């Protein structure tokens, strides 16, 4: 096996473990927050199960937004990736373990639980974002490298959701314990991969200035934002919608979410490689438009079976869009600014997740689930239409740059 292939597999395994640990919590989030002390009588942010669940998820992604750029700047400034990933993974494991110990302590208000969640998210995003940056550093085609990241993300989510549902049925705290163990394994696994960042040191100011000279990065950032918004929407509102509308429990909900994440995962690598051959425009633009229509179809599904079919279709479309969007970041970014560039993409994605939680949760709470699906699906379609002219102009200016996926190395 070629060394690049081996490293690609190991790094993808790290991305998988981080996302898997995160998704373990989602199917049983309402039960988990109750176990952690969410109580309407003692906390204004826990008036309902939806409110408590929303803020539990939002607190983690607020930390992602606040600190993902810090990790990227630190990595590019020092010319190192691996030490930061190890620290982030191990500290994140401590965060998950501390949350699991909250019921035994018994005296922490729910606001304190949210503060712990922020600390855990601060550490976890470093391990996640910089591992993706290490994949950017590999040769062999940006579509392939980001396809490997995408398949790891998709598999982590696809398996994390149903397994998390099963663990919740056993014990609401079991997903937290499993997540802590997995992040310890991440710290060990990443130590097996050489650091190919080059060791070049740069000042934070030079990195930020370099990023400002690449305004075209806003294009993949915009698509990344709205794609993650829909993922956040399904993680929170979709979970509660399926349970309330179809009367299913956490285990069945996890399986229904897997109908999306399974094709989303399995098709990432081949469709990422496809974008290396045909370019990024068609997969991102056409895929995003159809993706929005698919979300509307899920909200209109009259039964569990039809919802499952619609989720499979949405998963296929997501697999078309995701690796091409991440590869576009690598196409555009300069080699020495990849940590900051990927941090910017994950910042946009984290803001998208937050938007999915907040917009989806607010609209669903005030106007119903049907309106929430309409708003989120409509946003996916709208942002794709708005971004089309700029995206096509970029492709016309340099039609070959985003086809081979190797120009980012220059």
Q: What is the pLDDT of residues 196-250, one digit of tens each?
A: 765 555 555 555 565 566 667 778 888 888 888 887 788 778 888 888 888 888 7
Q: Are 157 and 264 in contact (CB under 8 A)?
A: yes
Q: Are 227 and 384 in contact (CB under 8 A)?
A: no
User: Percentage of the chain with pLDDT > 70?
Assistant: 87
Domain ranges of the chain: 3-403
User: For residues 121 and 46, which has the higher predicted lDDT (pLDDT)?
Assistant: 121
- Range picked from 121-135, 349-363, 379-393 for highest mean pLDDT: 121-135
The number of beta carbons lying within 10 Å of the beta carbon of residue 169 is: 16
CATH fold, domain 3-403, is Growth Hormone; Chain: A; (1.20.1250)
The conformation of residue 238, written as its DSSP 8-state character, comes to I
> For position 116, what pLDDT does the model report?
94
Tens digits of residue pLDDT in 290-311: 999 999 999 888 998 999 999 9
User: For residues 44 and 364, which has the higher predicted lDDT (pLDDT)?
Assistant: 364
Separation of alpha carbons 82 and 86, rounded Å: 6
Separation of alpha carbons 8 and 137, rounded Å: 10
3-class SS of residue 58: helix
Looking at the predicted structure, is the pLDDT value of residue 254 above 50?
yes
> For position 21, what pLDDT does the model report?
92
User: pLDDT confidence of 404, banded at 50, 70, 90?
Assistant: very low
Lowest mean pLDDT among 292-301, 365-374, 387-396: 387-396
Tens digits of residue pLDDT in 78-104: 888 889 999 999 999 999 999 999 998
> Is this structure's pTM higher than 0.75?
no
């Amino acid at each position: 096996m070629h060394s690049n292939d081996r490293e690609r597999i190991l790094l993808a395994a790290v991305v998988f473990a981080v996302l898997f640990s995160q998704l373990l919590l989602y199917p049983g989030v309402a039960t988990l927050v109750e176990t952690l002390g969410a109580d309407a009588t003692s906390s204004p942010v826990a008036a309902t199960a939806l409110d408590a669940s929303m803020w539990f998820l939002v607190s983690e992604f607020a930390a992602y937004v606040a600190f993902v750029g810090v990790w990227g700047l630190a990595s590019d400034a020092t010319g190192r990736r691996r030490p930061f990933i190890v620290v982030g993974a191990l500290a994140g494991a401590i965060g998950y373990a501390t949350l699991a110990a909250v019921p035994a302590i018994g005296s922490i208000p729910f606001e304190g639980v949210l503060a712990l969640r922020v600390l855990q998210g601060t550490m976890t995003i470093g391990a996640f974002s910089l591992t993706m940056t290490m994949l950017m550093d590999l040769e062999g085609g940006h579509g392939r490298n980001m396809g490997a990241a995408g398949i790891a993300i998709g598999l982590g989510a696809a398996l994390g959701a149903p397994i998390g549902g099963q663990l919740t049925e056993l014990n609401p705290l079991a997903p937290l314990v499993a997540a802590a163990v997995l992040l310890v394994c991440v710290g060990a696994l990443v130590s097996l991969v050489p650091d190919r960042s080059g060791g070049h040191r740069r000042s934070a100011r030079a990195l930020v200035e370099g990023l400002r000279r690449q305004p075209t990065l806003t294009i993949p950032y915009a698509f990344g934002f709205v794609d993650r918004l829909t993922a956040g929407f399904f993680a929170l509102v979709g979970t509660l919608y399926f349970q309330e509308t179809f009367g299913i429990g956490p285990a069945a909900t996890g399986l229904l979410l897997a109908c999306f994440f399974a094709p989303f995962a399995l098709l990432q690598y081949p469709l990422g490689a496809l974008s290396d051959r045909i370019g990024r425009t068609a997969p991102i633009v056409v895929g995003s438009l159809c993706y929005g229509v698919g979300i509307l179809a899920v909200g209109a599904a009259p039964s569990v079976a039809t919802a499952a079919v619609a989720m499979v279709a949405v998963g296929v479309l997501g697999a078309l869009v995701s690796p091409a969007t991440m590869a576009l970041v690598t196409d555009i970014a300069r080699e020495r600014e990849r940590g900051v560039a990927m941090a910017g993409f994950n910042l946009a994605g984290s803001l998208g997740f937050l938007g999915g939680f907040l917009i989806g949760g607010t609209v669903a709470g005030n106007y119903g689930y049907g309106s929430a699906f309409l708003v989120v699906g409509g946003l996916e379609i709208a942002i794709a239409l708005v971004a089309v002219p700029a995206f096509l102009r970029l492709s016309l200016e340099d039609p070959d740059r985003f086809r081979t996926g190797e120009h980012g190395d220059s």
